[in-house]
Amino acid sequence: MISTSSNISTSAKSISPANTACTACTNEYCLIKKNINSSVVAKFTEHRKQIRCKKGQQFIMEGAPVTGLFFVLKGRVKVLRTGLLGKEQIVRFAKEGEIIGHRGFGTGEFYSISAVALEDCTLCYFSKEDVQAILQKEPALTYDLMLFYANELNNSEAKVKSLSQMTVRERVIDTLLYVNRKFGQQSGFISLLLSRREYADYAGTTEEQIIRVFSALKKEKLITTKGKRIGIINNSLLKLEISEHNFYLDS
């Protein structure tokens, strides 16, 4: 994808000009950015740290003590819980502007989830103490966070239902629609690259089942695949198939 010219980029990455202030941030979905006009929030953001994360890198470890809160500035992330025999259950996927690690607040001393970068990411980090202080002082921000929590709860309830009441095929379709809705398509394929294994970990099945359902859907001309890439051909038919479970949408 990238041209063959080699040594130009080597020096660039060690420089860190990019601790751009939140005021200059282009990320309109971020709760902090949304409330940046408050002077209290603006001051709070001075303590922000920016972290770069390579693809595959884990930046929150389940069971580790809670130290702070992450916002995704750029890139995509998977949030997961590890089950009994190291089997991982992907709880959700996150993109720009989303919050990771928010459950550790209040009584929680330890992270209940792990988070790993699906692509090269840059994250914004705030310490637990800073976040707790700002939430006491800034109702508008706290309210926005509460809305986020409510939405998260709705999603997780929907997920319980999908895992307990849907067939494998329906869960796979549900997963495809979710990822497609959230990340969209680019030139006919879902813009987020996931392995079959990761689809399985989200849908609560095995890799083999995912592959089989995918090839069935492919035969039925509902989707198309090219390597890891998945394209949705007939969105409305797919929706129809799970409509009796009336999933109401999460973003």
List residues binding DNA (CB under 7 A): 195-197, 206-208, 211-212, 214-215, 225, 227-228
Q: Least CB distance from residue 1 to DNA, whole Å?
A: 9
Q: Least CB distance from residue 205 to DNA, whole Å?
A: 9
Angle between the 235-242 and 168-183 helix axes, to the nearest 10 degrees?
130
- CB hemisphere CA count around 87 (13 angstroms): 12
Q: Which is nearer to DNA, 17 or 227 (CB)?
A: 227
Q: Which is nearer to DNA, 52 or 197 (CB)?
A: 197
Q: Least CB distance from residue 118 to DNA, whole Å?
A: 12
State phi, psi for 115 to the nearest 5 degrees. Answer: -135, 130
Q: Least CB distance from residue 89 to DNA, whole Å?
A: 14
Q: Which is nearer to DNA, 19 or 187 (CB)?
A: 187
69 vs 60: CA distance, rounded Å: 10
Q: Which is nearer to DNA, 228 or 239 (CB)?
A: 228
Q: Which is nearer to DNA, 215 or 243 (CB)?
A: 215
Q: Least CB distance from residue 234 to DNA, whole Å?
A: 18
Q: Which is nearer to DNA, 157 or 220 (CB)?
A: 220
Q: Least CB distance from residue 209 to DNA, whole Å?
A: 8
